[in-house]
Amino acid sequence: MSAQIIDGKQIALEVRAGVAEKVAALKAKGITPCLAVILVGENPASVSYVTGKRKALAEAGMTDRSEILPENTTEEELLALIDKLNKDSSVHGILVQLPLPKHIDEDKVIMAISPEKDVDGFHPVNVGKMVIGKKAFLPCTPHGIIVLLKRMGIETSGKHAVVIGRSNIVGKPVTLLLARREINCTVTMCHTGTKNMAEIVKQADIIVAASGHPHTVTADMVKEGAVVIDVGVNRIPDATKKSGFRLIGDTDFEAIKEKASFITPVPGGVGPMTIAMLMYNTLEAAENAADVK
């Protein structure tokens, strides 16, 4: 048996096409969704992410109010810019690209973004709403994972999902979303303090690997027919590539795909969904502001 590869690129394109359609309908009513992505400094990975987000905005027909700030921007200057964007009714979403330079307090910056414009879903108000099942902006990567499972028609109700990783960006929120009534998984979260991780993962019908370390999940940890969602993005040296490295996930993809029923590749699995769901959230922010659906 060889796993069906979940094509995150294709599903992300479908989500983005749906968003672009709704953007066109909103524009016909005189409302153009607008996102401000703020980048401080020139971290190469962050620059690449921001470039991808800006390209997606253009494709969706949204207004791009991105700001690229120098590395030495002070915390006060960044907070003043966020305050200005919060007050600007033509801006519907604000996203500050993380990580920030060491001299800026990330928590303070996340707290400064208006919850109504927090399209990353990181503000404690949106996190709290997500926890109790109220309508809120969902964090993009976890929401993207749920969309992948739904679009592939993967049965989730009553299944045992094991999430590896407890980050605020992926591990914790995806655990909560998988346990929601409409997904209906029984969820176990593993992390660096988990003693018998291999035994726990072996029981999983659905594995979400978000540990940030290559080969966290090996084939002997995966039961036949399990669904494997790999969130990891790890650069490893590869002399055959022009860049000198290649990207791999947190799982041993080649070995596991012979046992799993479905698996996401890296790259081209979960990654493209993150930007697609950001576009979805920005559209939703514009709809909320205009009070239309």
Q: What is the dihedral of CA 222, 224, 230, 234, to 10 degrees?
A: 50
What is the spatial distance between Cα 41 and Cα 149, in angstroms, rounded to a whole number? 36
Report the SS3 class of residue 88: coil
Instruction: Pick the catalytic residue from 120, 230, 250, 252.
Output: 120
| 167 annotated to bind ligand | yes
Q: Is 153 annotated as a binding residue?
A: no
Find all residues with CB under 8 Å of 200, minimum gap 6, and list them.
162, 188, 190, 194
What is d(CA 57, CA 23) in angstroms, rounded to the nearest whole number?
11
Catalytic-residue membership of 120: yes
The residue annotated as part of the active site, out of 97, 159, 172, 250, is 97
Amino acid at 75: E
- Known binding residue 233? Answer is yes
What phi and psi, each to the nearest 5 degrees, are found at residue 267?
-80, 175
Of these residues, 22, 53, 117, 172, which one is catalytic? 53
Q: Please give the angle made by the CA atoms of 288, 32 and 59, to the nearest 5 degrees.
A: 115
Known catalytic membership, residue 53: yes
Q: Say if residue 166 carries a ligand binding annotation.
A: yes
SS (H, E, C) 131-188: HCCCCCCCCHHHHHHHHHHHHCCCCCCCCEEEEECCCCCCHHHHHHHHHCCCCCCEEE
Binding residue numbers for NADP(+): 165-167, 233
Q: Which residues are catalytic?
A: 53, 97, 120
